[in-house]
Structures are given as structure tokens and as C-alpha cells.
Amino acid sequence: MSRTTRVALVAAVATLAGAGCVLFESLDRDALQPGDGGAEADGDGGDVGDGETETEADGEAAVCGNGTVEPGEACEPGDVDIAARNACGETCSRTCLATCAWAPCDTAATAELDCDGGDDDGDGIRDECLWCREHPPAGYAGLYAVGGSDREHLWAVGERGEVTPYATYRSAGGTWMAADVSDLAASSYLTAVWISPAGAPWVADSVGNVFAGDAAGLGWVTVGGGPVEPGVLLTGLAGDLAEDVWVVGYGGAAHWDGDAWTPADMSELDLQAVTRTAVGDTWAVGFAGASVRWPAGGVAEEHGLPGAASGLDVVQDATGTLWAGGGAEADGLGEGVLLRWSGGAWERVALPAGTGRVVGVWPCAQDGSLWVVVLPDTYAGSEVLVRRAGGWWERIYEPRVEDSNAGLYGIWGAATADGYEVWVVGDVILHYLAE
């Protein structure tokens, strides 16, 4: 299912949020009906609502460091696995962290040595199982979202600096190309991207506009002929077809049917992300516990996030399970939160201790893993964690010296002939190839 991967720009838009910008003339809040949602969880029963993991024996929370690997833990601190295998199937060494999760494989033990475009291990694949920097055209100040329909239709959007829009797309040969955004609104930045099944990019900006372009980033048109709502920060895009697209933002949501934007059944919720599901439902999450489902052809339902946590991204995996990532505080900051839709309510899934807010989530259909981008409140030192199919966590990317001050905001991945590849964007673009 094509979808956008996007992140809340918490610090950058605090002024707008505080000013009480409302995206649309909202319908009566009473129009929101409670409901049980549509997607089923994976039913493993391993996590409870407070983020702790139950033991099978007595239901008590697992205790990391007690010398016993309990459900929800991958290992005990100090354990060393010298026969581990990375995502490429190569033997590597890893150690257990104080959080009872495995650290990334020791790169010295993997055969690919450098992001040099070469094939160090002679297997015919260049730079697999390494995070490599990719280089978009110069001039960008930050990339806030990344999305695609396949690995040859991939876009990243953000700002050039001084509040000027910036967009770049990755060609089939792997080179990032500059998109001409001179037709887009000045004094704005781009916050979200969705790629249509035909490979055409749609982007949303910080002043209420949605634009559609062609696959080469030319010929942009304003969808609907003008702003969805003038001056309002839009934060997420998702669709199935060019005649069936949703946008969310500060104070509302709207649906494009090919002819016009229609405000959705909404209250004054500050929404941050939106996704479509395999059964045609639309889900959005946002600040202060906001979570809304629009069933296909039905009435909107509001489902609060536990503890008034904030949702900053929402996705559906290949099994139909919905996942949302965010922060524990109402404004999107604080410790990280990962949530799973259980079929009747959102439930917390335990993250490694000390994890910062989750700003991006990507489900990998090839191996059943769940990838999350973590952005500390300092907006630097981002990391990428992977929840493997067995429920244990791996810290697959930790900031290198050269990236120690980099913030990461969005994530997207695609299948390859023999595996998958992942892109993470923010102050840099990082690429990971697993084959």
C-alpha cells in the first residue's frame, strides 16, 4: 500500500500550534463515534498497556539483568554472541546492552568494510549491510519526509533554508536529482510526500497547500486550485489513487476526491501523520493522544492514545497490524512510545530503556521486522532500532562521529530481488541495503 512517511516538526511549529491554527471548519466533536477499529494485532499477548512485558509464568513485568532471558528480552547484559548473523546473513559478533537488547553487529566482523561503492566481500553486491551516506544536490537545510511507490520512485522533501521549499528525487541509477520547486509557495517548507501509483509526487507544505507534480518533478499544480486552508501547517499525506488522497495537519483533515477537498469529520485535533489501510480505512494520529479512524464509507471514530501520548507516525504492516510511534508527552516530546492497535484499543509495546521519541516507523514485509527512527529532544544523535519478528530489539544504527549532531526524521524502504533496502532522511540521507 502506497503511503507517506512523515514526521512532526515539533520545535519548528511550536509558534503555529500555540497560535491555535485550525485547519478546517471542524464538524461537531460529538460526530466522532467510539468504535473498535478494523485492524487486528498480531495477538502474541507479549506486551501490556504500560509498555512492560509480561512473563509467561505469573504475569509480572520482566526484569532486565536478573540473569534470565525472559519474554520480551533478547539477551542478558554482558552476553556475547560471536555467531550472530546480520540482515545480509553474514556472521558477525554482537554484545548485549544494559537494556537486554542486542547491540548492532560489530562492523569489523562483517565483510563489507567501507561505503566506497565497492564489493569488498566479493559476493557481487556493493556496500550491503552498511549505512551509507547518499548525497542529494547541495542547498538543503533539512529533509523532513521521504516516500516512494517503489525503489525507482523515491522522493525526499524539506527546506532549503530561510523557509524555502526543497525537494529531491532518486533516479533509477541511484543519483539524487534536484526537483524544480520554483512553482511552489515561497516562504514555506515541505512537510510530507506521497507518491501516486503512477509515480507522480504529491507534497504538502507549511502554509496549507498540496501540490502534485510529474515523475520528474516538473509541472507542479496546486491540488484544488488553492490552499486547503490558507496559512495552516499540513503534516501528512496518504492515498490510494490520485482521486482518493487524505491530508492532515494542525486542526483537522480533508479528503480529495479528484474534484475538491472536503473537510473530514474532525474536532480540533492537531494531527501529525496519516495512513491508509488494506481495507480502505484511514487512520491519523497526533498530539495529546489524538487518534482518529475513518472507516471506508463509515462515520469517524476517535480512539485516544494511552496516557495522552502523542503520535508522530502511523503505518500498517503486511499482516494488517497498525503501529504508531511518538512521544510520551502531549507536545510530542519526552520518552519514546510505540503503540499497536489491538483491535479495540491502542496498547503500548516496550521499547529499550531510555529510547527517545519515535518519529518514523517502517514495517519490513520481507522479514516481519519493524524499523523505528528515534529523535532525542535535542534534535541530534538520532538512532534506528529494529524490532525483529521474535519481539526483541536491535539497535541497527548509532550515530557515527561525523553524524553525531544529525537529526533523522523520516524512513521508507522497498523490496529488492534478494532482500530490501531502507532510506532514512533528516540532516543527512542514509541508505541501508540488506541482500
Output the domain CATH number for residue 395. Answer: 2.130.10.10
Q: With 0-12 CB in 10 A as exposed, 13-18 as middle and 19+ as buried, what is 66? A: exposed
In a domain, 259, yes or no: yes
Q: What are the φ and ψ backbone dihedral angles of 178, each rounded to 5 degrees?
A: -75, 135
Closest CA to 376 of 426, 307, 413, 340: 426
Sheet of 370-374: strand order equals 358-363, 370-374, 383-387, 393-397
- The pLDDT of residue 44 is 40
Could you tell me if residue 98 is inside a domain? Answer: no
Q: Are 420 and 411 in contact (CB under 8 A)?
A: no
Q: What is the CA radius of gyration of the chain?
A: 21
Q: Is residue 113 part of a domain?
A: no
Range of the domain at 425: 5-42+127-434
**Residue 51: inside a domain, yes or no?**
no
DSSP line for 236-304: EEEEEETTEEEEEEBTEEEEE-SS-EEE-S--S-BEEEEEE-TTS-EEEEESTT-EEEE-TTS--EE-P
Q: How far is CA 396 from the centre of its chain?
A: 16
CA distance 383 to 392: 17
pLDDT confidence of residue 153: 82
Residue 122 falls inside a structural domain: no
CA distance 369 to 400: 23
Using the 8-state DSSP alphabet, how is residue 18 labeled?
Answer: H
Predicted local distance difference test score (pLDDT) of residue 89:
54
- pLDDT tens over the chain, length 435 residues: 333 333 344 333 333 333 334 444 333 333 333 344 333 334 343 333 333 333 333 445 678 999 999 888 889 999 998 877 665 555 678 889 998 988 877 544 444 445 555 555 555 545 456 788 888 998 889 999 999 988 878 999 999 977 899 999 998 788 899 999 988 988 899 999 999 988 899 999 999 999 999 877 778 999 999 999 888 899 999 999 999 999 999 988 999 999 999 988 665 789 999 999 999 999 999 999 999 999 988 788 999 999 999 999 999 999 999 999 999 998 889 999 999 997 789 999 999 989 999 999 999 999 999 999 999 888 888 999 999 888 889 888 877 766 778 899 999 999 988 899 999 999 999 999 887
Beta carbons of 415 and 422 less than 8 angstroms apart: no
Cβ count near 273 (within 10 Å): 32
> Does residue 250 sit within a domain?
yes
**Count of domains in the chain?**
1
Determine the pLDDT at residue 120: 55
Contact status, residue 212 vs residue 221, Cβ threshold 8 Å: yes
What pLDDT is attached to residue 277?
Answer: 94
What confidence score (pLDDT) does residue 111 get? Answer: 43
- Note the pLDDT of residue 218: 75
> For residue 105, is it within any domain?
no
Counts of helices then strands in the chain (DSSP H, E): 1, 31
Matching residue, cell 504475569: 59
Look at residues 423, 214, 250 and name the one whose alpha carbon lies nearest to residue 331.
250
| pTM for the full predicted model | 0.76
Whether residue 104 lies inside any domain: the answer is no
pLDDT at 15: 34
Phi, psi dihedral angles at 78 (to 5 degrees)? 95, -15
- Grid cell listed for 1: 500500500
- Taking the C-alpha atoms of residue 1 and residue 48, their distance in angstroms, rounded to an integer, is 29
pLDDT given at position 121:
55
The sign of the dihedral angle between the CA atoms of 397, 403, 407, 410 is negative
